[in-house]
Structure 1
Amino acid sequence: MRLLNRRCGQIQPYLTERVHQLSMEKLEELGESLLDFSSISDLEGWLQNNS
């Protein structure tokens, strides 16, 4: 969550909840994808396609 906040800015509570519901495998995938994120919309799109 700290990395997401640093990369995308303050994360809304509903997105935080969605991240917390991810499996360990998906969290690892998110960690890799996070390197390419430039905005909160990147996170939203990733969650839509991967959860």
Structure 2
Amino acid sequence: MSQYQAAGVNARLRLFALLEAQGVPASEVGDLVAGAQCEVVELDGMAPAS
């Protein structure tokens, strides 16, 4: 597992824990995380040129 994959897994686990602590049902957490990941993937490579 690469450094970036491990960081991604850790970020997802923290996000799950934070959302569940705020009372978001576990069934919705997966959908929210998947939606956020899709947004990140879409934006990859769209950063402004330096």
TM-score band w.r.t. shorter chain: 0.3 to 0.5
Structure showing greater Rg? 2
TM-score by length of 2: 0.36
TM-score by length of 1: 0.35
